[in-house]
Amino acid sequence: MIRTFHSKINKKTLFFCLLPGTVLAVYFFWIKQPLVALCCMIFLVFVIERLIHTAYTFTSDGWLTVYQGRFSKIGKYALADIEKVNVIHSPSWSFLKNRDTVMLTFRGGRVRFITPFPAEEFCRYFNRKKREVTETENKQEE
C-alpha cells in the first residue's frame, strides 16, 4: 500500500522568505529596478513551488520517497536505513514555532528534518511500516 503525507507550510519560511521576497520585489519595481525585482520574483516562484509540491510517500517495497517539487531531486530512503523518527517540539514561547517537524535519524548519525502533516500520524505509520518490512525480510530469510 502506498501512503502519501503532504508538507505543512512552515511559519518560519513564510516569515523569513516569502514576506521579505515579496516586499523586495515590490520595492525594486517601485524604484524602477526591474531586473533585481525579477530575480526576487524567480526566487519566490522556486520557494512556493517547493512549499506546495512537497510530499512524503511510503511505497509498498519499503522505501520513503521525498518529493520536493519539480526543481529538486527526488530523495529515496530505505526504511531499514532509518533508525528512528521523532516529532520535534520547539519551545512554547516561540512565536514561530512549528509543531509538525519530524527528525529522521539514519544509520551513521545522519539527520534530516521534514515537515509532514500530521506529524504524529507520520511517525505511527513509519513505525508500523518498518515493522512490516522487517517481518517480511525475516520470513524471506527463513
Q: Which domains does the chain have, with CATH numbers?
A: 3-141 (2.30.29.30)
Cβ atoms < 10 Å from Cβ of 129: 19
How many whole angstroms separate alpha carbon 125 and alpha carbon 116? 12
Instruction: Provide the residue-wise pLDDT of the chain in tens; the chain has 142 residues.
Output: 788 999 877 777 778 878 898 999 999 999 999 999 999 999 999 888 888 889 999 988 889 999 988 888 999 999 889 998 988 876 655 555 556 788 999 998 899 988 888 889 999 999 998 888 888 877 777 6
What pLDDT, on the 0 to 100 scale, is given for residue 66? 92
